Every structure is written in C-alpha cells, then in structure tokens.
C-alpha cells in the first residue's frame, strides 16, 4: 500500500513500521537541500532551453510579418491568409499531444524530446527558404507535428521529479521560457533587421534560418543532457534514487514507471470531471495568450512605431512579466495556495484589456496597458497549469491527464489566430472583446475547479474520519484516486 500525505503542503511521511532499514540508512546520509539543487541543475535548464527554442520557432512568424513576409510570398495582407498559416500549426499539435506522451513513456525522454526538437529545427530552417504561400503552410503544419510532444512531455517529466509544494517555482522557471522567447524574439528580430538583403534574402528569412540552426545544434546537446525519470537517472546515487522513490510515492503511489498505459487508463482519466475543468481553464487562458504572442508586434506597430522600434518595444512588457511571475510563484509556494493567485492575475489582465477597448488615441496609455495584459498569460497561467497538473497523481494518470488538459487547451491556438484581422485595425474591438471574455471564463472555470477540489477534500476527510471506512477506502486507487490524497487549493 502506498503512503500519501494527508496535507499537500506537508513533508513526506514514511510509516516507520513499513519502512525498510535500508531506506532508513539511505535517508540518514541524504542532504535534502543539496539533492534538490542537484536535481534542479540536471533537470530544469535543458528543458527550459528546449521549450524556449520551441516557442521561439512557433511565434517568430509574428515578427517575420513585420519584416514583409506577406509581400515576399505574394500573400494578400487584407485576407485571412496569415491567420490560416497560424491556424494550420495547431491542427496536428492538438491531435498528437496524448499519443506523444504515450510514446515518451515507452521511449527514453531524452530520445523522444531531442528527436522532436531536431526535426522542428530543420523545418524552421526550411521555412526560411519557402517561395510561396503553399510552402509556408506545409512547413507550419509539420512544425506543429514535431512540436506536439514538447510542452506536455516536459510538463509531465518535471512533475515526476517534484512534489506539489515545490513544483510551482520550477514550473514557472520552465514556463518563463515562453516569456523569454517573446522578449528575446523581439531582440533577435531587431538584429536580423540589419541583415535585410544579405545574400539576397529578406530579414524574415534570416530570422527563420538562424533560429532553426540554433535549435538543431541544441537538439544534439539535448540528447545527452535531458534526464529521464528519477528511477532511471544515472547521475543519482542508489541511495538518492531510493530516497526519491519513497519521497515521490507521496505524490504518485508505488506505481512503477515502466507500467504501460492501457486504453482503460485513458477512459478512466476522461471520466474525471476535474481533468475537464483543468482543460477548460487552460483553454480560456490560451486564447488571449496566443493573441498576444502572435499579434503584439502588429498591435505595437499600430501605435506609430517604425519596424525596428516595434521589435524593441515588444520586449519590456515580457521582461516585466518574467520577474513578476517568479515573485508570484515564490509567494504561492510559500502560502501553499494557487486559486487566489490565479484570480488576481486574471483581474489585472482584464483591466488591461478594458483600457485597450476604451482608449484609442493615446499610444502611451495603450502601450502601458499591454504591461497589464501580460499578467494573465505570463504570470497567472503558470500557476494555473501547475495547479491542475500537480493535482493529478500517478505516472499513468499524470501522463494522460497532462496531455489531455494541455492538448485540449491548445485548441485555443486555432480560435485565437482569427481574432485579430487586418480589417479590424487599428482598434481591434472584436479581438479585445473576445480576449476579455476568455479571461473572464478562465476566472469562472478556476473557481469551479477550486470548489470541486475543496468539496472532494471535505468528502475524503469525512470518510477518513470514520474508522470503519478508513480501511475500506484507503486503497481505492493510486495517485490522486487514493482516499488519503488531498488536492491543493
């Protein structure tokens, strides 16, 4: 029988009557802070770099448009061709996330993630050489295929190394890869702007070629640097592996990593309404998030900035979000609470969108409002994703649940790509109205999820308080299905 924490924020408790003498000897020689630092340095940096490049290769098309991609490929700026090019990426991206996590569990994480990374690096380079709109659509589609495993795979892998009270800061470091990608994307685009016409290529082509080449190079290093699951890590000593195994049983039970995922496991996860609520939260966050990632250069340019000034002005809001998200993650971990932090960030973002909807003739005020808008996607979304991801326990349930929640949420990428159209410039009333609606929906679904977890914790408290039902219910399942498991609020 697995031993679980009755409080999500508590330390791992091992029943002394069942703990082996070997484990007790191993624990006595483990310095927890030193081991966690060792884990942080081996697990997080390469995954952060990996997703930084993945997100950069995904959103750099927004910077490329400012450099004349549409004109060079004969696209009509007044049509929806650019929006279609954004949308086609998400079709395979959404459909392949669950299969990708199943494959990652069968293969070694380093092989699957590094292989995917190398492939989308090659495709990004190819995107720099396309000669027509059709070629752009083909490369965008296959970039979506190869990137589909990155986000859910990395999130799943990180979740198998950290307990819930320790996870948010790590997830925020990882998620901030997207913030840095947006910020550095503007700086890189600014630099490539001076390469316009070099060797006969436009600046937007150099943007794709350079970023794709760097991605391929890092993918080769990632093959050697990405860690597997704790039970497989060669850089841990045997005593450290045993310590981690017992420690993580409080999150996942004693389910072995190598247990295969069955179709019945997928059905079981699909029946859990809390998984569906997590997916709806992520979806509601992502619609305005992708709007900002793809269209902020176009929006900023409408404030009267030149092409190069536009690239530079896209950096400060994201730089601010980077540092604030770290502070918010630290506070949330210290207080062992998620919901109110999610709600606060959403309210700030809603205020920012409200300003953009009502102020049309003051570029400085409109630009300042963008600093508020980024609170939602870049400060609130890491808290929300960590919240519902880490509330799914067990190897199989987390592999499926993470992919399902994140995969469904990515449908937002399809919806968001048509919200800011050229015909609505420069006020974009339709896009802003829908964005504020989805931030409001995210607050609603987060409240529903909070109440669902609170109610389930209360129900389990009542059952565990009944001495006769404790023995009957304590082994109802592994991970978060176990009666002694408590959801973080």
Q: In the predicted model, is pLDDT for residue 474 greater than 80?
A: no
Helix residue ranges per DSSP H, 410-428:
411-416
378, part of any domain? yes
279 and 245: one domain? no
Range of the domain at 89: 30-251
More confident residue, 345 or 392: 345
467 confidence band (pLDDT: 50, 70, 90): low
424 and 292: one domain? yes
Q: Tell me the C-alpha distance between 371 and 5, whole Å.
A: 39
- Of 205, 220, 251, the one marking the end of a domain is 251
389, part of any domain? yes
- Of 251, 283, 311, the one marking the end of a domain is 251
123, part of any domain? yes
Dihedral over Cα of 204, 205, 208, 211: its sign: negative
pLDDT computed for residue 15 by the predictor = 44
> What is the rounded average pLDDT of the residues 86-112?
85
83 and 186: one domain? yes
More confident residue, 341 or 407: 341
Residue 70 structure tokens: 């549409």
Q: Could you report the per-residue pLDDT of 130-172, keeping only the tens digit for each? A: 999 999 999 999 999 999 888 888 888 887 888 777 778 888 8
10, part of any domain? no
Number of domains making up the chain: 2
Mean pLDDT for all residues in the chain: 83
Dihedral over Cα of 24, 25, 28, 34: its sign: negative
pLDDT computed for residue 117 by the predictor = 93
pLDDT computed for residue 353 by the predictor = 95
From the DSSP assignment, how many helices (H) and strands (E) are in the chain?
Answer: 22, 0
236 and 283: one domain? no
Q: In the predicted model, is pLDDT for residue 2 greater than 80?
A: no
Q: In the predicted model, is pLDDT for residue 18 greater than 70?
A: no
234 and 309: one domain? no
Q: Could you report the per-residue pLDDT of 215-271, keeping only the tens digit for each? A: 999 999 999 999 888 877 888 888 888 888 777 776 655 665 556 667 777 788 878
| Cβ neighbours around 24 below 10 Å, total | 11
Helices 109-127 and 97-106: angle between axes, nearest 10 degrees: 130
| Cβ neighbours around 475 below 10 Å, total | 14
Q: How many CA atoms within 13 Å lie on the side-chain side of 405?
A: 32
pLDDT computed for residue 348 by the predictor = 96
397, part of any domain? yes
More confident residue, 1 or 445: 445
- Pick from 63-67, 402-406, 434-438 the range whose average pLDDT is largest: 434-438
246 and 300: one domain? no
416 and 296: one domain? yes
Q: Tell me the C-alpha distance between 415 and 445, whole Å.
A: 18
SS3 242: helix
314 and 374: one domain? yes
- Tell me the C-alpha to C-alpha distance, in Å, between residue 209 and each of 64, 79, 189, 478: 12, 26, 12, 47
H/E stretch holding 221 reads helix 203-225
User: Is the entire prediction scored with pTM above 0.85?
Assistant: no
Q: In the predicted model, is pLDDT for residue 327 greater than 60?
A: yes
Residue for token digits 């199943």?
Answer: 102
Burial of 271: CB neighbours in 10 Å, binned 0-12, 13-18, 19+ = exposed
Are 14 and 246 a contacting pair, CB within 8 Å? yes
128 and 197: one domain? yes
5, part of any domain? no
Q: In the predicted model, is pLDDT for residue 364 greater than 60?
A: yes
60 and 140: one domain? yes
3-class DSSP string for 449-489:
HHHHHHHHHHHHHHHHHCHHHHHHHCCCCCHHHCCCCCCCC
Dihedral over Cα of 344, 349, 355, 357: its sign: negative
55, part of any domain? yes
360 and 459: one domain? yes
């Amino acid at each position: 029988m697995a031993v679980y924490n009755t409080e999500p924020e508590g330390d791992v408790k091992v029943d002394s009557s069942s703990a082996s003498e070997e484990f007790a000897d191993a624990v006595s020689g483990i310095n927890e802070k030193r081991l966690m630092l060792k884990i942080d340095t081996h697990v997080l940096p390469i995954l952060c770099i990996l997703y930084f490049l993945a997100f950069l290769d995904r959103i750099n098309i927004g910077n490329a448009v400012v450099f004349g991609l549409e004109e060079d490929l004969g696209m009509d700026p007044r049509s929806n061709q650019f929006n279609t090019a954004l949308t086609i990426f998400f079709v395979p991206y959404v459909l392949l996330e669950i299969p990708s996590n199943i494959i990652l569990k069968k293969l070694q994480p380093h092989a699957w993630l590094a292989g995917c990374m190398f492939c989308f690096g090659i495709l990004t380079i190819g995107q720099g050489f396309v000669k027509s709109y059709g070629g752009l659509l083909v490369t965008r589609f296959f970039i979506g295929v190869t990137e589909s495993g990155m986000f859910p795979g990395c999130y799943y892998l990180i979740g198998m190394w950290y307990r819930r009270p320790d996870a948010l800061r790590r997830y925020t470091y990882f998620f901030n890869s997207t913030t840095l990608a947006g910020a550095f994307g503007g700086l890189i685009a600014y630099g490539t702007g001076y390469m316009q016409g070099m060797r006969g290529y436009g600046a937007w082509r150099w943007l794709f070629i350079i970023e794709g080449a760097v991605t391929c190079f890092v993918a080769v290093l990632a093959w050697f640097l990405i860690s597997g699951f704790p039970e497989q890590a060669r850089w841990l000593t045997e005593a450290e592996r045993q310590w981690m195994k017992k420690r993580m049983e409080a999150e996942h039970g004693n389910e072995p990593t190598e247990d295969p995922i069955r179709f019945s496991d997928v059905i079981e996860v699909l029946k859990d309404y809390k998984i569906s609520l997590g997916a709806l939260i992520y979806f509601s966050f992502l619609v305005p998030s992708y709007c900002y990632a793809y269209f902020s250069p176009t929006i900023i340019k409408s404030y009267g900035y030149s092409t190069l000034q536009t690239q530079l002005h896209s950096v400060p809001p994201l730089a601010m979000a980077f540092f604030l998200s770290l502070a918010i993650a630290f506070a949330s971990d210290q207080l062992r609470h998620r919901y109110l932090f999610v709600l606060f960030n959403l309210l700030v973002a809603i205020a920012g969108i409200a300003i953009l909807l009502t102020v049309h003739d003051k570029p400085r005020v409109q630009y300042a409002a963008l600093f508020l808008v980024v609170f939602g996607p870049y400060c609130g979304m890491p808290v929300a994703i960590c919240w519902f991801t880490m509330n799914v326990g067990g190897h199989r349930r987390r592999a499926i649940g993470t992919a399902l929640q994140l995969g469904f949420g990515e449908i937002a990428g399809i919806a968001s790509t048509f919200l800011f159209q050229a015909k609505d410039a420069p006020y974009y009333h339709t896009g802003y109205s829908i964005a504020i609606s989805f931030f409001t929906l995210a607050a609603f679904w987060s409240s529903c999820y909070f109440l669902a977890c609170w109610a389930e914790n209360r129900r389990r408290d009542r059952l565990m308080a009944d001495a006769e039902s404790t023995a009957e219910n304590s082994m109802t399942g592994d991970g978060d299905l176990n009666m002694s498991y408590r959801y973080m609020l």
